[in-house]
Structures are given as structure tokens and as C-alpha cells.
Amino acid sequence: MNINSRHILNFVKDYIKSLFTISLIFIVCFLPANEVDKISNFNFIYLDKIIHFSMFFTLSIVLFFEIKKPIRKIFLSVIFVSLFLASFTEIIQHTLITSRSGDINDFFADMLGTFTAILFYYLKFKN
């Protein structure tokens, strides 16, 4: 096993929960629209935004417990990963998935979930 393979395996081992959460986010965000309609038969207003908020809140909390850095760098890392992932998913939905469309409000729900998780983590573990 070469050095690069070892680094990749260590990265996967260190961030397995985050990678799993990101995979779930990709699955949910890239489902065809007709599959999403089957799931969301509840006709609950803003269910889509609540799901986006929840996914990114969960991802942020998982990242907090997996990133082994000083707290300030953890905050910046969580913001960066969430910002990148939220932007990436909406751009892909808008440009490549014909049955879906990117939505700036989904992006805002994603980031609201992230910043709520940051506030929660800060208030709970600030000492």
C-alpha cells in the first residue's frame, strides 16, 4: 500500500460519519423530482426547506465531532464545507438534473441549518 492510499484510507476512517452524511445529502438532493413527489405526499408547507435545514444542521454537528482542530478552525471548516456543498448541490440541480431546479431558498435553508448548528455547538460546548 503506497502513501497516498494510506492517506485516503485514514481520511475515510477519520471522517466516515461526515462522508456518510454527505452521501445522504447527495441522494436526497439529486433524486428525480417524481421520486421526491412520492415522498412528500404530506403537502406540508415548507417541508423542503425543513429537510434542507435538517440535513445541513446534522452535517455540521457531525463535522464538529470529527474535525480534530482548534475550535476556531472547526467553525471555519464547517462553514466552508457547508457553503461548498450547498452551492454545489444547487448548481448541479440547476444545470444537470432536468427534473430538478436550483433554488436560492434551499441554499439559505442549508446555511441556516449550518449556522444554527454552530450556535448550538458554541452554546453547549463553549467551555
Q: What is the pLDDT of residues 64-112, one digit of tens each?
A: 999 988 888 999 999 999 999 999 999 999 998 887 888 899 999 999 9
Mean pLDDT computed over every residue of the chain: 88
Are 126 and 69 within 8 A, CB to CB? no
9 pLDDT above the threshold of 70: yes
39 pLDDT above the threshold of 60: no
CA dist 72 and 69 (Å) reads 8
Q: What percent of the chain stands above pLDDT 90? A: 59
pTM for the model stands at 0.86
